[in-house]
């Protein structure tokens, strides 16, 4: 009997020592393996001040050209556009310009791409505001800004925009609010490679992805209603971009429900990997906080945290190494409401070894925390803020080793 107790004690001691070693072993930094790393935001910050609203008002009536008014405008001017259908593709190259659509009930100015124009509106000048307009039937984007500081998209509607409804990229100081986007082959509201971002009080539906924050920093996604998309909200870091970082996104007080639309993205699009029934998906992003949201009726899962390395068929490991951090780290999911999620997970989820649940984790990445109670999770235990860091690290390493080597 003594020899048995001795062996048992030795095994327990070995287990404790092993857990301590694995838990306290330094965590290797998750950094790009190649490249110098690029920063999110406007690569050429403005030297002039914001002068919006300091100029004259230029009126455009139905049947007249909006572009002609834009071309003669000076910094600080406002283009006021009366309701009507305008078959133009607009280019804004004058800074501190406002495009103001007049809204009379259900009537507003509509920019109709007729299924042939790439963009409804393209802005490339700083301090640009769009309000009260609607874009329909474009092949690429409803409204896009590129390399801009200080853009406001307010009370705009995009329908059938092509790839993206509202699409600021490589920009700084972005506000998207009180807008509606639908029918995007990729994403309704997409903010890419940008910083200082607020996306609030919008409705997104009928898109592959409702809202996506990609390779961006310092974003607030608040008070939105994301419903009837393939995926409600995405926070991604993807390779092959100018900006190679994705940190500090807060997803707060949103209603994310019934995102069960079959995925209709083109196969080469990154959102083609989003499973039908996705509430929220965090892919290789760091320091995302998800709190105060209601996740309801998303058939595959409410929130999943995964990594680029979990999709080797979609993102083959580059021979020379990754140009972005590949793991999702230090994300925090807490104090949300979950109702009827994961009730019918699609095969892309189950064939990857998961089950339908409120919370999913691929086991990649350290420092992630889930402070939720009474929810269905997979794996069966997820680290919370009450776990000692060494225990959370040991658990992640052992679990990830098992997933990689045994499954």
Q: Please write the tens of the pLDDT for every residue from 211-234.
A: 999 999 999 999 999 999 999 999
How confident is the model over 251-271, as a mean pLDDT?
A: 98
Give residue 35's pLDDT: 78
pLDDT at 182 > cutoff 80: yes
How confident is the model over 98-106, as a mean pLDDT?
A: 97
Give residue 63's pLDDT: 95
Secondary structure letter of residue 298 according to DSSP: -
Mean pLDDT estimate for the chain: 92
Domain 36-406: give its CATH architecture.
Answer: 3 Solenoid (2.160)
Give residue 289's pLDDT: 99
- Cβ-based neighbour number of residue 225 at 10 Å: 17
pLDDT at 140 > cutoff 70: yes
Give residue 9's pLDDT: 36
pLDDT by residue (tens digit) across 49-79?
Answer: 999 999 999 999 999 999 999 999 999 999 9
Percent of the chain past pLDDT 90, that is, above it, reads 85
Per the listing, tokens 């001691």 go with 13
pLDDT at 172 > cutoff 60: yes
How confident is the model over 163-182, as a mean pLDDT?
A: 99
pLDDT at 275 > cutoff 90: yes
Give residue 22's pLDDT: 46
pLDDT at 321 > cutoff 60: yes
Give residue 34's pLDDT: 83
Distance CA 172, CA 251 (A): 19
What are the residue boundaries of the structural domains of the chain, listed by start? 36-406
Burial code (b: 16+ CB inside 10 Å, e: under 16) for 391-401 equals ebbbbbbebbe
Structure tokens at 194: 């940008």
Per the listing, tokens 């998209």 go with 153
Least confident of 253-267, 308-322, 335-349: 308-322
pLDDT at 91 > cutoff 70: yes
Distance CA 94, CA 52 (A): 11
Give residue 406's pLDDT: 66
Q: Is 253 left (phi over 0), alpha (psi -120 to 50) or beta?
A: left
> The whole model's pTM is what?
0.93
């Amino acid at each position: 009997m003594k020899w048995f107790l001795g062996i048992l004690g030795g095994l327990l001691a070995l287990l404790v020592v092993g857990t301590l070693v694995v838990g306290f072993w330094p965590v290797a930094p998750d950094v790009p393996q190649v490249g110098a790393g690029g920063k999110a935001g406007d690569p050429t910050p403005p030297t002039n001040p914001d002068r919006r609203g300091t100029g004259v008002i230029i009126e455009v009536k139905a049947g007249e050209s909006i572009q002609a008014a834009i071309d003669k405008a000076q910094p600080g001017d406002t283009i006021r556009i009366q309701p009507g259908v305008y078959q133009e593709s607009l280019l804004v190259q004058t800074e501190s310009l406002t495009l103001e659509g007049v809204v009379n009930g259900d009537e507003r100015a509509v920019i109709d791409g007729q299924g042939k124009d790439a963009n409804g509106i393209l802005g490339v000048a700083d301090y640009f505001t769009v309000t009260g307009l609607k874009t329909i039937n474009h092949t690429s984007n409803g409204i896009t800004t590129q390399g801009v500081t200080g853009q406001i998209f307010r009370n705009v509607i995009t329908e059938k925009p092509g790839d993206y409804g509202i699409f600021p990229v490589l920009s700084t100081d972005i506000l998207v609010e009180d807008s509606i986007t639908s029918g995007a082959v990729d994403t309704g509201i997409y903010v890419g490679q940008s910083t200082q971002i607020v996306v609030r009080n919008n409705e997104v539906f009928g898109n592959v992805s409702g809202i996506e924050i990609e390779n961006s920093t310092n974003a607030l996604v608040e008070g939105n209603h994301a419903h009837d998309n393939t995926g409600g909200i995405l926070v991604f870091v993807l390779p092959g971009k100018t900006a190679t970082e994705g940190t500090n996104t807060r997803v707060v007080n949103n209603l994310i429900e019934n995102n069960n639309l079959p995925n209709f993205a083109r196969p080469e699009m990154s959102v083609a990997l989003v499973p039908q029934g996705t509430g929220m998906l965090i892919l290789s992003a760091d320091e995302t906080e998800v709190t105060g949201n209601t996740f309801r009726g998303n058939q595959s899962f409410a929130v999943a945290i995964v990594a680029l390395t979990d999709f080797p068929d979609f993102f083959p490991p580059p021979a020379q190494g990754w140009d972005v951090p590949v793991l999702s780290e230090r994300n925090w999911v807490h104090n949300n409401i979950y109702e009827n999620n994961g009730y019918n997970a699609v095969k892309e989820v189950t064939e990857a070894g998961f089950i339908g649940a409120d919370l999913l984790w691929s086991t990649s990445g350290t420092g992630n925390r889930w402070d939720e109670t009474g929810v269905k999770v997979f794996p069966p235990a997820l680290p919370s803020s009450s776990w000692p860091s060494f225990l959370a690290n040991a658990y992640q390493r052992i679990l990830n080793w098992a997933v990689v080597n045994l499954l």
